[in-house]
Chains A and B, each alone.
Chain A
Amino acid sequence: MSIDSAKTPFAVTLDVGGSLLNKTGSWRSERPVYVDRLPPCNHACPAGEDIQGWLYHAEEGDYRGAWESLIANNPLPAIMGRACYHPCQQACNRAQLDQAVNIHAVERYLGDLALEEQWPAQIVNPPSGKRVLVIGAGPSGLSAAYHLARLGHSVEIHEAGPLPGGMMRFGIPRYRLPREVVDGEVQRIVNMGVELQLNRRVDDIPKALEDGGFDACFVAIGAHIAKRVDIPGPDAARIVDAVSFLRDMETGDAPLQLGRRVVVYGGGNTAVDVARTAKRLGAEPMIVYRRSRSQMPAHDFEIDEALEEGIVVNWLRTITESDQQGFKIEKMTLDENGWPQPTGEFETIEADSLVLALGQNVDQSILTNLPGVTLNRDGVVEVGADMATAFAGVFAGGDMVPAERTVTVAVGHGKKAARNIDAYLRGETYRPLPKSEVANFETLNTWYYTDAEQKMQPVLDAARRRSTFEEVHTGLDADSALFEARRCLSCGNCFECDNCYGICPDNAITKLGAGKRFEFKYDYCKGCGMCVAECPCGAIVMTPEAT
């Protein structure tokens, strides 16, 4: 039955939908605006990864997309997914809800998948015709080479050693980082057209630049001169340094004759690496550290794993001299400032050898013919925020510049240097985009996320770890990787959950469709702010109206 609306009672009966004529937006004193805040993981990542960005793809099971997003910033995800100490997870807001997202494990999953599938890296810019020399094939140099190649430049890496990887190969034991992973990710960079020359030491950078016709140079030779401490005693041969020990493990150049009882002196990750390596070689290592456990620079989980593997740690001890049986050590005590002070109490440890893991210095010879470039008080090369040295066209990064000495920092340096070199080659100055405000936990509305415990990576049984160099941590399976990715809260960035669209009492939001996010209908938005309060990820803010 059709009804002629002209016949319906005046004013009492209305046609539908007429309220659209009433523009309630005029009620508003504040307007909601969509923003992208900086997720804390991204903020914490020394390599500058857009972690949330690649997790977004991974959540959908689009691993190729996730990996490509990942390697836009970091060319070594399979390595970093193992060697990185993942500060992202310390920053992860989810830790305040249950546990951090296991970003590290998902990164490794993607990295391994890419190696397995042999996904190639893409070059995004056309060839620039510029040539760049990278000195050192460690993480920083490889990263710089990759990014420069990606940006269209021609890159040559001159590596002094026999194998690429730097500390990734010569510092990190293979039970933490299998060598085929290193080889695979280096090869991918080489496949981009980067020329890798091994056993090619550069002593005179200006000359090398001129000889090779390079337009710029990135130096990343690392810090591999071991720090020594004078331990008086008859038999200096029984004292080796950690760098040499770990390098020899890789090159097999020298016999590893440490004996059964090995003392490792130091409290950093290298000390722990040495002790765990020695353990796997059949020795009984003991770590001696002059301060307390909580002051050890080594990561907690590494110490825990070492202890699980049966490694003894002696805290608050210094080694004062060596003798035929072993080493004389003095007990220390902490003063009120937390510094170790001698107690005058001594004891002797019977041991066959001592490995010094007391840190490394930069090889100064690299400064030859680089006027103005100097080492600072800490023995590292001063660079600007753009990673440039005082010598025009020469940039530096990695362990040889002032920064935390981690693979991740090094990779970050490589990227940053590459971007600055790219700008330099075009006669410009690289200007990074201003960083957004960090999306802290208080900006989130976490009610909307299900409780979901972190998926732990399987860990090799401690008994087997004592005798094998098999990887301690194995990767996540596909389901767990997906599950982890989906634990991401998407802090500060819209993940198209439709909350704003759904909870607006005024229908004042247009849903633009997958990937296109949303738009406010300011004609109708009354400015109640519910969308801001109920946005799970803090991607909307209220701003005062202009008038």
Chain B
Amino acid sequence: MAKGVKPRVKVPKSAAAGETITIKTLISHKMESGQRKDSDGNPIPRSIINRFTADFNGQNVIDVTLEPAISTNPYFQFDSIVPESGEFTFTWYDDDGSVYTETKSISVS
């Protein structure tokens, strides 16, 4: 597991039914591209997050495949419809097999 990985997600606490909301996510991760070399000239092995998914009550909102060209601390902003109260699940998949998840609930009035 890479060190210091911390997901952060911004979801509104409440919304009207069927409203489109904007979600912002960020996870601290160094996203080593595999292109860089250390001071001895040896290539530093690739270590990135290769997939990110967001679901609401089991329905998919977005599924992103990441390549090394995504910046350090990968940030995503996207929209979602909220038909009812429920929970967003965000999942990040690391190259080393670790999986990081974060959940946020939203109440719909």
Do A and B form a real pair?
no
Q: Which residues of A contact B (CB under 8 A)?
A: none
User: B residues engaging A (CB < 8 A)?
Assistant: none
